[in-house]
Structure 1
Amino acid sequence: MSDAPVNLNRVRKQKARAKDKARADENAARFGRTKAQKALEQAQTEKARAALDQHRRDED
């Protein structure tokens, strides 16, 4: 045991901060993407769709 007294409020707040940080990290991994990443993904999707449409056969 340590000789110094423990501030229980500080311990409680540190525990709450750790829990909040863990939740934030989980959400960032699940949902977090930068604007550039979203734009890149959209551009790739549009390019793939355009390439697929170019190979489409017209049935007349």
Structure 2
Amino acid sequence: MAQVINLRQARKARDRQAAQAQAAANRARFGRTKAEKAADLAREEQARRQLDGHRLDHDGKEQGQD
């Protein structure tokens, strides 16, 4: 006798496998490693600190005027 299967469960299992395969492809295609993300964050933070360090504090006033 043939094995009885629930078609709804089989369809859901098939869809889950397809979604997992798509997710794996997306991770490989678009994903960045944790180290890459940390390096980018550190680079952006360093650039921001450097820019803030070169900022002039005039507050809209001319030099020599109080």
Query: What TM-score do you get using the length of structure 2 for normalisation?
Result: 0.50
The Cα shift of 1:5 comes to 1.3
- Which residues of structure 1 form unaligned runs of 5+? 44-60
Deviation readout 1:6-58 (Å, 9 max, x if unpaired): 11011000000011001000000001113421343687xxxxxxxxxxxxxxx
- Which residues of structure 2 form unaligned runs of 5+? 43-66
1:28 aligns with 2:27: yes
* One-letter identity of the residue aligned with 2:16: R
* Structure whose alpha-carbon radius of gyration is higher: 2
Which stretches of structure 1, 4 residues or longer, exceed 4 Å deviation after superposition? none
Give me the identity figure in percent.
45
> Which has the higher mean CA deviation after the structures are superposed, 3-12 or 16-25?
3-12
Query: What TM-score do you get using the length of structure 1 for normalisation?
Result: 0.54
CA root-mean-square deviation? 2.4
Greater fraction of residues in helix? 1
